[in-house]
Amino acid sequence: MKLCVLLFAVLLTCAHARSAPSPNLSDDKHLHERPPPPLTKRPRINSEELESEYWISSAQEELQLALDVTNNLNRNVAKNVILFLGDGMGIPTLTAARILKGQRQDPPTPGEEGRLVFETFPHLALSKTYNVDYQTPDSAGTGTAYLCGVKTNIGVLGVNARVVESSTSSKTSVASWLPPVPPRGQYTNGSRRTPEGPHTCYGTIRSSQPPDSVLLLLLSLVPLYTYRYRSSLSPVGIVTTTSVTHATPAAGYARSASRYFEDDSDLPTECLGKQLSIARQLVDEFPGNQLKVVLGGGLSHFTSHGNLTAVWQNRTGGILAFNNEDLLNAQDTSRPLLGLFSSSHMPNHENLNPAETPSIKEMALAAVRFLKDNDEGFALLVEGGKIDINHHYGNPYHALRETLAFDEAIEAVIGEISFEDTLVVVTADHSHTMTLNGYQPRGTPIHGLVGYDIRNVAYTSLSYANGPGYRFSVDENNQVSRPNVTEEEAGQYAG
């Protein structure tokens, strides 16, 4: 019996309505208009699906699987915990990635009937996400929530909501943009303030009773305090396709009034000497300096002021890796491992040069190899961070391929561990504004065109409601218009 849980962030649903003239509201036929025949060739649908027996049999198999889970619950205490975090991997992303996975198979399938690897896990649930001060959360506030167990404000890391986000501009004064401090016990409408006023630097963070990172608390039957005085590093690791100082990984080890204080050049003047940058906290402060494995991008944040990688190596005697060859040659698993494979975030999966840069699957497998032999168990965070970054740029092509690379990493890792003593959780921290446009005929290419709207303008399977992928405009007649893209353009375009 597998011991694993799948959690999803629920934020968006599929859009099913098209632009239409003012309808007769007493007649709902306009709500279900079908587009013209599909513009592209589609994979053939399985002929068995045409028969009732196929669906009845499928339902019985699913029901039996559910009963098997219920009747054979794994009640073991997990020694190891692996948390896979798909940043920005909301429900529409899962749907689109699942379809793309099937359509990329040989031979291709329509895609809708398939599953991502983690969708086959026996336990699934939905999660609700928000920040204390924002309806739509960011990865710093959500990272603090699931890694520290405390909801907090947008933009801050490893602290509670008495800390408000500091300035994100290098060397600028926090006071230059914050409103006057209100009287104690009062709020200022429209500002991110607490009754005690703003906390902006490390000195005030220390007094705000910050939570402890669950990356250390997760270690089975080992009290947190024992790790504060260990001479060897903890069996805890972080893998990410972003910079290792980015919001999600940093929430596991840093305490910062801004997610953007990644290195010393990012710290405002008044914070110098009060709060360490996130990179320095990883190297110099607990719990960052207790991590045994850290793999991802962000080398520039460790070299902007001195050479923090050398400081880390001198202190730990660990292995430094700067390319895939270094990672493959890292064989002494008794030593800690720090891999920084790009100046900033890692390249998109499809653009990786395998001779230079490891994939998320290769990094995750290396992390497991370095952690799994510890008798006390291990904890590992694996983030598919480029899912989110590509969505921010309105690029569904790479966002979905990053999701499939994330899926491949999960499949590879669960092949290396035992579910008898390992808890595997797959989740997301928030969603994005990408949605599926309707009604697409079955098997429509997920990056293709669906058909033409009532203005004879082609529309794509995917679109964004805002951001760079939102390419709509309103003309002088207050009518919404958008580009009339071609089939060739649709592969890189959404909306």
Residue type (1 letter), 218: L
Q: In Å, how far are 119, 339, 361, 405 from 411, measured between CA atoms?
A: 11, 22, 9, 10
Residue 391, annotated ligand binder? Answer: no
pLDDT tens track for 362-375? 999 999 999 998 88
Domains of the chain: 76-168+197-432 (3.40.720.10), 445-493 (no CATH)
Which residue matches tokens 């970054």?
Answer: 389
Does the annotation list 430 as a binding residue? yes
The answer to the question of whether 87 is labelled as a binding residue is yes
Give the burial class of 276: count Cβ atoms within 10 A of its Cβ; 0-12 exposed, 13-18 middle, 19 or more buried: buried
Give me the sign of the Cα torsion angle 66, 72, 75, 76.
Answer: negative
Q: Determine contact, residues 463/434, Cβ cutoff 8 Å.
A: yes
DSSP 8-state symbol, 180: P
Whole-structure pTM value: 0.83
Burial class of residue 481 (count of CB atoms within 10 Å of its CB; 0-12, 13-18, 19+): middle
Query: Does 453 belong to an annotated binding site?
Result: no
CA distance 98 to 109: 11
Please indicate if the annotation marks 383 as binding a ligand: yes
| Residues acting as catalytic residues | 139
Q: Which amino acid makes up residue 369?
A: R
Q: Could you read off the pLDDT tens digit of each residue along the chain, which spans 495 residues? A: 444 444 443 333 333 333 444 555 555 655 556 655 555 566 678 889 889 999 999 999 999 998 998 888 889 999 999 999 999 999 999 999 999 999 999 988 899 999 999 999 999 999 899 999 999 999 999 999 998 888 999 999 988 888 877 643 332 222 222 222 223 233 222 333 232 333 445 444 444 455 656 555 543 333 333 334 344 567 999 999 999 999 999 999 998 889 999 999 888 877 777 789 999 999 998 888 889 999 999 999 999 888 999 999 999 999 999 999 999 999 999 999 999 999 999 999 999 999 899 999 999 999 999 999 888 899 999 999 999 999 999 999 999 999 999 999 999 999 999 999 999 999 999 999 999 987 888 888 898 888 887 778 888 889 888 887 777 777 788 877 778 888 777 766 554
Beta carbons of 25 and 433 less than 8 angstroms apart = no
- Give the phi and the psi of residue 371 in degrees, each rounded to 5: -105, -30
Nearest-Å Rg of the Cα atoms of the chain is 24
Helix/strand/coil for 436: strand
Rounded distance between C-alpha atoms, residue 166 and residue 163, angstroms: 9
- Which residues sit opposite 402 in a β-bridge? none
Strand partners, 366: none
212 is in an annotated binding site: no
Return the closest-CA partner of residue 79 out of 214, 213, 222: 222
- Enter the tokens of residue 381: 């965070």
Looking at residue 448, its pLDDT comes to: 86
CB of 449 closer than 8 Å to CB of 494 = no
CA distance 301 to 284: 14
